[in-house]
Amino acid sequence: MNLRDLRYVLAVADHRHFGQAAAACNVSQPTLSGQIRKLEELLGATLFERTNKSVSLTPAAEAILPLARAAVEKADTIMELAQGWRDPLAGSLRLGVIPTLGPYLVPRILGPLRDHCPHLDLALWEDTTDNLLARLRRHALDMVLIATSVEEEDIVTLPLFDEPFLLVLPEAHALAPAPFISEDQLAHMEMLVLADGHCLREQALAACARPETGRADLRATSLEMLLNMVAAGYGCTLAPALMVAGRSSPAPGTIARPLTAGVAGRTIRLAFRETFPRRQAVEAVAQVISGLSLGACR
């Protein structure tokens, strides 16, 4: 049994005419009829009742046809996928991105990526770093945008750009007039950080040179929530430069101040499996991101 014979059976079932089925399959009618007879002999069952005027399905054919159709459709899908793999810059590419980066970077990517790779279809998944890497390892994602290094032999990371942090504080804060915030000043700030599971939390705590925040009772799962808490006067927070870019203020009632050069920031990386066969597509995405004009991130 082979897919060609199943296609012949489906053609006869659809056309209910051997001549028309043969024409649809681009073969002669004797060839199609002969292959179907061989298949019937193999199965030990008659599939079609033939008369001079009509062709009808037997009960055996009624039972077999759904399975035959599914098999042919899956085979066609495999061929379509294979065609996409032959052209690494065509077809779907599954990209994971951390929540503290996705809303501020992804909208900047889509237009340039569409221009650079018009046949590439980007499917997005947002999650924390650990969850993204877990999905990457089990082949549920093709590549991930993260802000931490990965020390695994089978994971390759491409550094894309360095993103500094800015201190977001209430407009009425004593340090609001300062042109920048020093490392010593940062160490004495009452900081608000994200909840466990976000890499930005650990990076913020490291920048403040403390193992834990003084406001353990106030943590958020999103940067937007942190900004609202700052505006309400509950403390200060560190925000990635991309989040603040293009805003007159990070949120109403707050201002952002740069830190002394080199005090705090993160490196954005594109990670993927070393065995991933479409490396050219990954490198194309990396090239587009690296080529963006990201203002304070350069």
Instruction: Give residue 134's region: left, alpha or beta (phi > 0; psi -120 to 50).
Output: alpha
What is the predicted pLDDT for the residue at 45? 93
What is the predicted pLDDT for the residue at 197? 54
Q: Which regions in the chain score pLDDT beneath 70?
A: 80, 83-84, 195-221, 246-248, 262-263, 294-298
Task: Enumerate long-range contacts of 100-105, CB under 8 Å, 24 or more apart.
Answer: 100/147, 100/194, 100/198, 100/199, 100/200, 100/223, 100/240, 100/243, 101/145, 101/147, 101/240, 101/242, 101/268, 102/126, 102/145, 103/243, 104/240, 104/242, 104/243, 104/245, 105/145, 105/242, 105/268, 105/289
Q: For the chain, how far is it from start to end, CA to CA, in angstroms? A: 61
Domain 92-298: give its CATH architecture: 3-Layer(aba) Sandwich (3.40)
Look at the alpha carbons of 38, 44, 48, 49 in this order and tell me if their dihedral is positive or negative: positive
What is the predicted pLDDT for the residue at 177? 85
What is the predicted pLDDT for the residue at 288? 94
Q: Are strands 120-126 and 91-97 parallel, antiparallel or unpaired?
A: parallel
Summarised one tens digit per residue, pLDDT across range 97-150 is 999 899 989 999 999 999 999 989 999 999 999 999 999 998 889 999 999 889
What are the distances in angstroms from CA 145 to CA 95, 100, 113, 160, 223?
7, 11, 15, 9, 17
Q: What whole-number distance in Å separates Cα of residue 196 and Cα of residue 262? A: 25
Domain 3-86: give its CATH architecture: Orthogonal Bundle (1.10)
What is the predicted pLDDT for the residue at 230? 86
What is the predicted pLDDT for the residue at 182? 82
pTM for this model (two decimals): 0.67
What is the predicted pLDDT for the residue at 210? 53
Give the domain ranges of the chain: 3-86, 92-298
What is the predicted pLDDT for the residue at 28? 95
Q: DSSP state, 191?
A: B
DSSP assignments along 212-244, one per residue: S-S-TT-EESSHHHHHHHHHTTS-BEEEEHHHH
What is the predicted pLDDT for the residue at 127? 93
